[in-house]
Structure 1
């Protein structure tokens, strides 16, 4: 009788120990995954806040006339990259048939971490970009109000040879090269029937969403990664260009 009880105690201990070990293993594996996801999400949020500061510093240059600004971005296991330039084109639709047009390229700055979501600064805006969609984290410095159309074209351009950098803390140093109004698009009483804005960018869908919502523009996709938006009957108009050179410093 006592032998049977001893065997039962041993079996009970083995079963309980196995359950505890299995539970600890499952919790450890899933818990590490949850912690990693939380860490990645926090790093991405921190990067987004740093890019908001970057956008503010760039605004000091193209809006306030500051000669230069520097922004520190902590990378840890992420990297900062220079991406292929986007294209911004503005065309005036004139009743006389002469339609002046200007085009400028702008080099995006992208943060990429462990997740499939990236933070991108381009054309004065900050985007949180992901394969399943994205959001405009910081709107471009355009203004549309009561018939007034103000479009500052922010033309960022890389100087130096470093196009990708990872780990540690990186400083993005930016300095103003050119700041000028575009005479054909600076009018107190606009004589254009409409303004056509074409943006070629991998984030064209986010540009489209912004322009449709903020400018009440009529937009369509004209070719791969290009959105064309028409802003009808502008009353007052100001389109400017600011060329900002930037580089990565460690």
Structure 2
């Protein structure tokens, strides 16, 4: 027979079990909330930064069209809004595009790029009529340059000048572009002399793919990376009837 003492022990065991169960459930809930908060918050922040870079990419798409207005239509100026969202936009002078008619001593050299510095190594760049999304030294071309390849080749060259200081922070910046010159420095009929384009750029790997693909599609174009420039593109004179180069010079500014 069990005595009253045995029943008392059973009641005590039940109380201990309920307390332990409550503690375990509470600990599980607290751990779940902590993990969700830590991981979820980091994931949310990453998603916000990625969306910011996507929004800037769309803004550079508008910037591309606005600068084309200066070149194609002779519009005197354009302005493009870019929400930085903690990123930074700068004007860079490192790029160089040198157009040379091998039958003459005339060479035209222009350059300059507008760069948004986003998450990590992500950069969104406007350069010589094209827009890039770069990750380190590699990336993709989002918008292609203004180049027509056929019996007549029409090439657009952009020269940009801009401020020395970058602009950053959680604000919207207005990127202004004012045309200062627009001309046709090359209008050549087919001859024995080729026209070459030498490119030095931080986006060289993407330019190489772009012109490599064109060279594979059109016998008017050949490309090499063997030389003093990052890339040398040759427009083969006996493969086209006429080569026309349009040049647009614009001054770039950043303002609130």
> TM-score, normalized by length of structure 2?
0.86
**In 2, distance between residues paired with 1:135 and 1:50?**
16
Structure having the higher Rg? 2
**In 2, distance between residues paired with 1:19 and 1:192?**
80
SS at match of 1:35: helix
SS at match of 1:115: coil
The alpha carbon displacement at 1:23 in A equals 1.6
**Counterpart pick for 1:153 among 154, 157, 161:** 157
Deviates more, 1:222-231 or 1:33-42: 222-231
SS at match of 2:93: coil
Determine whether 1:229 maps to 2:230.
no
Q: Hey, what does 1:181 align to over in structure 2?
A: 184
Contact 2:101 2:107 in 1 (8 A): no
Contact 1:85 1:105 in 2 (8 A): no
**In 2, distance between residues paired with 1:114 and 1:180?**
38
- Within 5 Å, give how 1:128-207 maps onto structure 2: 128-131=133-136, 133-145=138-150, 147-158=151-162, 161=163, 163-167=165-169, 168-182=171-185, 185-187=186-188, 189-192=189-192, 194-207=194-207
Q: Hey, what does 1:214 align to over in structure 2?
A: 214
> TM-score, normalized by length of structure 1?
0.88
- Within 5 Å, give how 1:2-13 maps onto structure 2: 2-13=11-22
- Which is richer in helix? 2
**In 1, distance between residues paired with 2:78 and 2:254?**
12
Contact 1:88 1:200 in 2 (8 A): yes
Query: C-alpha deviations, 1:184-221, integer Å up to 9, x for none?
Result: x313x321453322110010111111112235443232
- Root-mean-square deviation (CA, aligned residues, Å) is 1.9
SS at match of 1:163: coil
Q: Hey, what does 1:23 align to over in structure 2?
A: 32
**In 2, distance between residues paired with 1:175 and 1:215?**
34
Q: Hey, what does 1:14 align to over in structure 2?
A: 23
Aligned length: 240
Which structure 2 segments of 5+ residues have no match? 1-9
